[in-house]
Amino acid sequence: MKRGFVGSFVVLALSAGLAGLLGPGLAQAQITLTNSVFPVAGDTFSWAIDTHPGPQIVNTPPGPNQVWDFSSLQRSATWTEVMRPAATGAGASSFPDATLVYTQTGPSSFPNIPGSNATEAYLKVTDTAVSLLGFHGGPGVLNVGVPSVTRFQPGVVVSEAPTAFFDIRTFSTSFSAEISPADIPGLVLQNPGNLIDRYRISETLLGSVVVDGSGTLTLPGGSFEVLRETRRLFSTVVLEGHFSGGWFRLSDSSLLDKDSPIAPYLHVFGQVSHAYLGAESKQALAIVYSPVSIDPPGPSVLDELPIAQVQFKNLGASAVPEPGTGWMFLVGLCAVPAARSAMRRRGR
């Protein structure tokens, strides 16, 4: 299905109108998520991922009162993450406005920022939103082996309260980082000489989030009433070199060595994910990831490809204190029924 951002919104709005016209039998009340699903220090998130989901896992059209049966998902890998006060992080000084930090141990949904045991993700939590501020340490920008700080300007809102059926939001953010030529493995330029004294890598991210479905989700271990968020992400990465005369864009230059380890990351990237959110757990119960082809290159059109992987709650994990769930750009989840009793004790 091929649509632009604006086009998607129009189609969804028309779907909502049709649901209202068809009467209360179709347009039944859906759940509304509050800030009780936001993470707090001490939450332990336990995830599983199926890297080869079967054909029964499908992305259905928008609409209410749906049934999603994901009970066939398999655990290709599992991992846990712990939310800590931001001040305890190694990169805390780079994120003075952060509330929480966790160490990324699972796969990353952000292009060019791979998961790593040494990569810290910093969050800002308010009464109405959770924002991803950036990353510290790990393999660094573009996985070139240089630990660094990635600070988004502005931070990316990954969860809002309240969240209800047919809510829509968009975001735009970017980051840039300078890297010394000595820190980049392999040649970046053909016949570079001594012309460049440093490089700068920049990434621009555009996204849209639409709550386009509601219904019942079944996972290995339980069934839940959920809202579905469809999230579209478009990324452009640019490499520049600093000469005596200033900055020069190298990404599209014939000087760029196509065999450089950095070259594969200098591209236009698109991703669509469908996140299933429940009121009884913190953030997503499952996230279905699909790559996209972009034709023509740009955010106006994203052509969704077959499902690549599904990240989901590891409901069979051992009980842990203060369990939670996961994110679009982050990861985590809760065990059942321990999570439900813990959330009730805390007024969730």
CB distance 88 to 108 below 8 Å: no
Tens digit of each residue's pLDDT (9 = 90 or more) over 38-81: 999 999 888 899 999 988 899 899 999 999 999 999 998 888 88
Residue 338: per-residue pLDDT: 23
Q: What are phi and psi of 86, to 5 degrees?
A: -60, -30
Q: What average pLDDT does the structure give for the chain?
A: 75
Cis ω before 162 (30° cut-off from 0): yes
pLDDT of 322 over the 50 cut? no
Rg of the chain on CA atoms, in Å:
21
Residues 6+ apart with CB under 8 A from 190: 255, 256, 257
**Who has greater pLDDT, 96 or 107?**
96
Average pLDDT over residues 273-282: 92
Nearest CA to 320 out of 40, 35, 42 is that of 42
Cα of first residue to Cα of last residue in the chain, in angstroms, is 38
Nearest CA to 260 out of 172, 342, 153, 143 is that of 143
Give bridge partners of residue 291 from the DSSP assignment: 271
CB distance 124 to 85 below 8 Å: no
Residue 256 burial (C-beta neighbours within 10 Å; 0-12, 13-18, 19+): buried
Q: What are phi and psi of 342, to 5 degrees?
A: -65, -40
Residue 145: per-residue pLDDT: 54
Residue 18: per-residue pLDDT: 41
Tens digit of each residue's pLDDT (9 = 90 or more) over 162-197: 999 999 999 999 988 887 777 765 656 665 566 778
**Who has greater pLDDT, 8 or 131?**
131
CA distances (Å), 220 to each of 31, 80, 99, in order? 22, 18, 32
Residues 6+ apart with CB under 8 A from 203: 111, 112, 174, 175, 176, 235, 236, 237, 238
- Band (pLDDT 50/70/90 cuts) for residue 149 is confident
Nearest CA to 86 out of 120, 126, 36, 45 is that of 120
Tens digit of each residue's pLDDT (9 = 90 or more) over 288-313: 998 776 554 444 455 667 888 999 98
The token pair that represents 111 in the structure block: 């292009």
Residue 266 burial (C-beta neighbours within 10 Å; 0-12, 13-18, 19+): buried
The answer to whether the Cα torsion of 290, 291, 294, 298 is positive or negative is positive
Flag whether the pTM goes above 0.85. no
Residues 6+ apart with CB under 8 A from 42: 82, 83, 321, 322
Average pLDDT over residues 30-36: 93
**Who has greater pLDDT, 272 or 113?**
272
User: Token match 């994910």: residue?
Assistant: 273
Q: Which residues of 186-199 are buried (b: 16+ CB within 10 A; e: fewer)?
A: eebbeeeeeebeeb
